[in-house]
Chains A and B, each alone.
Chain A
């Protein structure tokens, strides 16, 4: 297994409350890894620690290492903007930039990271929107507000926006929880398409979703990682009683 991102003996606190407890989790290259577990199990906190977005909140603290290609993202010489350029994120609720057009939403990240010489913004925007399976729906209204789009389209726009800066890893925090079933299906198909080029780590409380799209699955409970393995193993042959109880719907 070629590990892209390795979470090692990692803990995180909000004030006195320990949200993530001594987690070690490998995220394999060009695979989809899902974190499942009930609300409040620390799964969202963990992925917000992977691009260090949790640091925006006062009173957060972490321990342990997160190795991206063998380099600890918590080391002192890690540049936050560079880190977040390499590790992109899609949020739980679609959050397109409300003051920008559809085009500028996709272009925003490229503008801050710098357009590579020899590339054209129009091409990057089109390519990103195509990858997010949104191009045909928005190509005639690129200069309209993103708020004229449906929730599912907005979320795919957010995915296109994240893809435009060509991250190596894509973090997805319950990307379908605010979407209807049809939009959810589209986003799931998209995730399956994207994994040939990106390493994806997604959080979901929807077990069927994890079973459908993830290659590897980790089960979290109360901040601890209870079990990790191939998705098929976790769902057909869980080793821990708590995993079995959760996936069979006995709690959560």
Chain B
């Protein structure tokens, strides 16, 4: 090997390695910095209320009493509603786009789905206020109330604003994410596996049910977790439709509040240190929830994805 080019290669290599090393390190730095701020700025709240802050059910800035449970409840329930609506819808989209749609249609529709993910959150919020909320008030809630009113979930006056509207708007927002990832997952199912099933005399649906979906199950699970993660942290659109009242009610028709939404709402108006630190503490809890979710997701995906040894992927 020529000496000069070897040296140049070596120097470039060291510089490049140093750069990527720093880039990777900066990521760890950012996470630690965020965590430090969350812990530091929430000190006041946690010393005053202790870990009971997470379980307190009253959030009352006027009297200086802060409990995060209604926010945690609102965050988790609105996200679960979103997932319950978005997951079947997204799977339907992904299956249609990879298995059933005519080939010329697949590209444009996939593009449209991905475009939906690029619409800013506040625009979804506006649409929610002007279209979704009136529709929920005039159609969805009355129908659910009369059909399933025997369940506490669907009792109460139809406001339009509230937990249900937040869940629906979140569902619309995470559908592009879940369906785009699921689509990639289903595209990766080897043709040979599907052909084998079809060649046995299976219909399209049987092939999807018995081969395609089982093959993609860990990826679909990953897609769902990704969507759930996005729903948990979504702020703007939720704030605009959820009603912003920190309370725990069994009815999905009631107003509610999420962690992300209350921070956005009250941060600029927090008039004392305790209120401010309570908001940061709520943020800390959100951080922990998403962290736990991702750890759980890792474990689940790892369990489900234990692909048999020697599987050849094509």
Contact = CB atoms under 8 A, between A and B. Distances in A.
Contacts, number: 85
B195 A53 contact: yes
A88 B200 CA distance: 6
Contacts of A100: 214
A145 B309 CA distance: 8
B193 A98 contact: yes
A99 B202 contact: no
Contacts of B8: none
Given A58-B103, A91-B195, A113 B200 contact: yes
Contact of A97 (B193, B217, B310): B193
B131 interface: no
B27 interface: no
Interface residues of A, number: 33
A83 B210 CA distance: 20
Interface string A64-105: 000000000000000001111110110101011111100000
A20 B202 CA distance: 27
Q: What's the interface size class on B, roughly?
A: 20 to 34
A109 B210 CA distance: 10
B200 A109 contact: yes
Nearest to B213: A99
Nearest to A58: B103
B308 interface: yes
Nearest to B195: A53
Given A97-B193, A147-B308, A108 B210 contact: yes
A123 to B, nearest CB: 18
A99 B220 CA distance: 15
B202 A81 contact: yes
A84 B194 CA distance: 13
A52 to B, nearest CB: 9
B200 A162 contact: yes
A85 B195 contact: no
A53 B198 contact: yes
A14 to B, nearest CB: 14
Interface in B206-221: 206, 210-211, 214-215, 217
23 contacts: A56-B195, A81-B202, A84-B199, A84-B200, A86-B201, A88-B200, A89-B199, A95-B192, A95-B193, A95-B196, A97-B196, A97-B211, A98-B307, A99-B211, A108-B210, A109-B200, A109-B201, A113-B201, A145-B309, A147-B310, A147-B311, A148-B309, A161-B200
